[in-house]
Structure 1
Amino acid sequence: MPKVSPRRHRSAVMNFRVTPAVARYVKTTADELHESVSDFIREALKMRIEVRRTYLEVADEMGYKDVDTLIWHAVQEYAKRHAPVVITMPKMPEQSEMDLETQEEE
């Protein structure tokens, strides 16, 4: 690629003109892309509503009050079955020391 001086490059950039044909092509392509993305989003929202409706039916059948509770219990059950180690959070040392001090005072 030949080297272009900064002055010549700046001049070429400043004098660049978009022809009407290029402008039409860019606008058409942008419109098509926007339409495709809009269709995709519309379909995704429909699928989300359908999945949500299915979750509500399952939650109702299993006796859960809402979908979030159903999902929480499902995640807990999955973790019990597939997690090799159950992680529990130990008490913070300051809390245990404070508990011991209050028990000694009583």
Structure 2
Amino acid sequence: MGSMFFKDSNFTKKNFLKNLFLVREPEIKFLKSSEQTKINISRKISEEEWESFFNRLTTARIEANLTQAQVAKSLGKYQSYISKIESGEKKLFMEDFVRLYKLYNKSPKYFCSVFSK
């Protein structure tokens, strides 16, 4: 089955984490085909946390000695897609997040540890 995408034309850095993950039906057996799962946030995420998260995406790519174009090619996307993700202008779906942290040889914790508990 195909991927389920979130429909949110008002995407901003502040609601990024709520829209971070794309869930694929075959991997999650308990979902109905019409359900979409998002991360629930019970507290407000600071602007500093957002900036840190997006900075880590860029830093990890640079530390991996990769250009946006190289990363985009490995994901089957355009360079502008990576640019918009790194700037917080575009949603980052779980499938791409997993591919990025593996490509950058980083753990998910490296990226998500910027969010206060």
Question: What TM-score do you get using the length of structure 1 for normalisation?
Answer: 0.24
If you compute each CA radius of gyration, which structure gives the higher value, 1 or 2?
A: 1
Select the structure with the greater relative contact order (CA < 8 A; seq sep ≥ 6).
2
Question: What TM-score do you get using the length of structure 2 for normalisation?
Answer: 0.22
